[in-house]
Amino acid sequence: MQTARQTGWMVVRQARNLMREPIWIAMMIIQPMIWLLLYGQLFSKVTSLRAGAGSYVEFLTPGVVCMNAFFGGTWAGMAMINDLDRHVVDRFLAAPASRLAIVLSQVVRAGLTAILQAIVLLLVGLALGVRVHGGALGWLVVLAAAFLLAMVFAGFSNGIALLLRREASMIASANFVSLPLMFLSSILVATALMPGWIRAIARFNPVNWGVLASRNAVVTGGDWGHSSLYLLFLLAAVTATSLFATWCFRSYQRSI
**Interacting residue ranges for another protein, rule: CB under 8 A:** 2, 5-6, 9-10, 13, 16-17, 20, 86-88, 90-97, 253-256
Comparing CB distances to another protein, the nearer of 5 and 203 is 5
Comparing CB distances to another protein, the nearer of 239 and 251 is 251
Minimum gap (Å) between residue 186 Cβ and another protein: 38
Comparing CB distances to another protein, the nearer of 90 and 223 is 90
Minimum gap (Å) between residue 17 Cβ and another protein: 4
Minimum gap (Å) between residue 168 Cβ and another protein: 20
Comparing CB distances to another protein, the nearer of 6 and 117 is 6
HEC profile of the chain? CHHHHHHHHHHHHHHHHHHCCHHHHHHHHHHHHHHHHHHHHHCCCCHHHHCCCCCHHHHHHHHHHHHHHHHHHHCCHHHHHHHHHCCHHHHHHCCCCCHHHHHHHHHHHHHHHHHHHHHHHHHHHHHCCCCCCCHHHHHHHHHHHHHHHHHHHHHHHHHHHHHHCCHHHHHHHHHHHHHHHHHCCCCCCCHHHCCHHHHHHHCCCHHHHHHHHHHHHHHHCCCHHHHHHHHHHHHHHHHHHHHHHHHCHHHHHHHC
Minimum gap (Å) between residue 248 Cβ and another protein: 15
